[in-house]
Amino acid sequence: MRSSWGSGSPGGWPSEPLQEVALTKRICVIGTGYAGLANAACLADLGNGVIGVDRDQAKIEQLNHGVLPIYEPGLAEIVRRNIQAGRLVFSTSYDEGMQDAELVFVCVGTPSGVEGETDLADVEQAAIEVAKRIHQPVVIVNRSTVPIGTGDWMSDIIRDHLQSPDTPFTMVSNPEFLREGSAVYDWMHPDRIVLGTTDPPAAEKVSQLYRSLGAELIITDPRTAEMIKYAANAFLASKISFINEIANICEALGADVRTVAHGMGTDQRISPHFLEAGIGWGGSCFPKDVKALAYIAAVHGQHPQMLRAVMEINTDQRKRAVTKVREILGGFRGKVIGVWGLTFKPNTDDLRDAPSISIIHMLQNEGAIVRAYDPVAMDKARNMLPRIVYCDSPYSAAEDADAVFLVTEWNEFKQLDMARVRDLMRRPILLDGRNVYDPQRMREMGFIYRGMGRGYSGESLR
C-alpha cells in the first residue's frame, strides 16, 4: 500500500507533499479504529503530519479513498480535509509509518480475554513492530486502555526488540477519554489531558501537541495514568448501575426514576450525567474495562465487590426488560417482537457488547421472531445477528408485532407517529428501555407501556 511521509494519498485527493506544508510534528498512529482514526484526524487537523497505520488492508484502502469504515459524526469531513491538505495518509506499512516519526501513538484494540483479563496481543505486536523500526529518538504514546503496569511491560518489549540497543525511546501513557458519537468534539475539547511518564522532556513534547486545546494537563507516573482511565470508566458505569438499582426500587414503590434522577442530578456534587436509568451500559469500553479492573484487582488479592455488583446490575437490567414483556405476553414462542435500535448507544455504528444483542438472543432463545430497525448499523449487524428480519423503518419493525422494545435512544425514535405505531402492532405493548416516552401519554394512546423505573400499576393486556 503506497502512502508515506511526503507522498499523496492514492484516493484521488489533491496530493500535496507532506514536507511542503507547515508540519508541527510527524506522528505515526498505530490502529485506525474508532479511537485511532479520531486521533489521527484530529492530530492532523492541528497541523501535524500523520500516518495512520493499520494491519487491516481493506480499512486502509477505504480511508485513503476518503471513505470512513465507521460511522462517527463529523469525522469524515476532517479526514477528507486533512488528506486533501497532505497532512494525513494511511498505510498498512510500519516501515512507512515509522520513517521519520517523532511520536508514535498506539491506539490498537484491547479486548477482553476469556477470564475478563485484557488481551494485550495487539499491543504486544504493535510494540514489537515499532521497536524493530526505531532508528532515532522517539516518544511512544499509549492511548489504548491497558492494565496498570502495561507501560513498563511495553518498554521492556521495545527494549528487547530494538535493532540498535542504544536508540533512545520513551513511553508516555496518555489515556483516551473520547466518546463514540462525539469523538471529534471530545478530542478537540478534552476535560483534561493525562500524561503518565517519568521523563519530563517527553511529557513536554506530548503536551505541546495538545497545548492549543487549553485543557488541564495532569502529569503523573505511568501506572497512575493507566489507573485514572480504568477508574473513570468504572465510575461512570457505576453511576448508571446505581441509578438502575434506584430505578428498580422506584418501580417497586411507585416512584418515577426520571424525576428522582433530575432531583439528584441538580445537586452539583452529583451532576446529571450518566444518571439515566434504562437497560444499562454496553459498548466497546465500559464492559471490558470494568471487567478488566475487577480482574486486575482480584489477581492482586483485592475483593472488587462494588465493581462486581456494577456488572451484575447491568446484566440484570437486560434480563429485566425481557421479563417485563414476558410477564404480559406469557412467553415469547411464536411472538413477533420489534426492536428499535441495535447500536450500544445513538450516533455510533458500534455494536460491541450492545444490549440489543443479548436482548435479541434472549428473545430468540424463547422462540420469538425479531424484526429490527437501526438507522446506521443494520449492515454491520447482519453477520452478528443473522436470524432477524431487518426492516427499513421503525414502523416496519412494529408491523404485526406483539411488542416493541426501544433499545437505543436514537433521536429518530423520539419523533415517531405513535398512533401509527399502535395501529400497526398486533398488540400495543411498548417496552421503553431508555425512558424516552411519557408513560401517561403512551397509556392514554392505548399502549401497554413499560419503562424502566417509572412506577406503573393497574395495567392489563387489552
Active site residues: 285
Residue number, 119 or 399, with CB nearest to ligand NAD:
119
User: Nearest Cα to 338, choosing from 286, 393, 259?
Assistant: 393
| Size of residue set near ligand NAD by CB under 6 A | 26
Supply φ then ψ for residue 60, to 5 degrees.
Answer: -65, -40
> What would the x/- binding string for ligand NAD be over residues 57 to 86, using CB under 6 A?
--x---------------------------
Q: Is 60 helix (H, G, I), strand (E, B) or coil?
A: helix
When asked if residue 314 is in the footprint of ligand NAD (CB under 6 A), the reply is no
Supply φ then ψ for residue 354, to 5 degrees.
Answer: -75, 140
Candidates 118-126, 362-370, 431-439, 449-457: pick the segment binding ligand NAD (CB under 6 A).
Answer: 118-126
Supply φ then ψ for residue 256, to 5 degrees.
Answer: -110, 115
Q: How far is the CB of 10 from ligand NAD (least distance, A)?
A: 19
Residue number, 142 or 248, with CB nearest to ligand NAD:
142
Quote the CA–CA distance of 152 and 160 in Å, as a whole number.
12
Sheet (strand 369-373) strand order: 389-390, 369-373, 336-340, 403-406, 429-432, 448-450
Q: How far is the CB of 281 from ligand NAD (least distance, A)?
A: 13
Residue number, 142 or 435, with CB nearest to ligand NAD:
142
Among 9, 48, 91, 110, binds ligand NAD (CB under 6 A): 110
When asked if residue 285 is in the footprint of ligand NAD (CB under 6 A), the reply is yes
When asked if residue 176 is in the footprint of ligand NAD (CB under 6 A), the reply is yes
User: Nearest Cα to 316, choosing from 283, 277, 270?
Assistant: 277
Q: How far is the CB of 203 from ligand NAD (least distance, A)?
A: 20
Burial 268-297 (b: 16+ CB within 10 A, else e): eeeeeebbbbbbbbbbbbbbbbbbbbbbbb
Q: How far is the CB of 272 from ligand NAD (least distance, A)?
A: 22
**Amino acid identity for residue 45 in this structure:** D
Residue number, 108 or 140, with CB nearest to ligand NAD:
108
Quote the CA–CA distance of 296 and 11 in Å, as a whole number.
44
157: Cβ contacts below 8 Å, ≥ 6 apart: 124, 127, 128, 131
Cell of 434: 431508555
When asked if residue 126 is in the footprint of ligand NAD (CB under 6 A), the reply is yes
Cell of 175: 489515556
Residue whose CB is nearest to ligand NAD in the complex, by number: 33
Q: How far is the CB of 288 from ligand NAD (least distance, A)?
A: 7
> What would the x/- binding string for ligand NAD be over residues 16 to 55, using CB under 6 A?
--------------xxxxxxx----------------xxx
Quote the CA–CA distance of 16 and 10 in Å, as a whole number.
12
Residue number, 186 or 366, with CB nearest to ligand NAD:
186
Decide if 417 contacts 425 (C-beta within 8 A). no
Residues that bind ligand NAD (CB under 6 A): 30-36, 53-56, 59, 107-110, 122, 125-126, 144-145, 176, 178, 180, 284-285
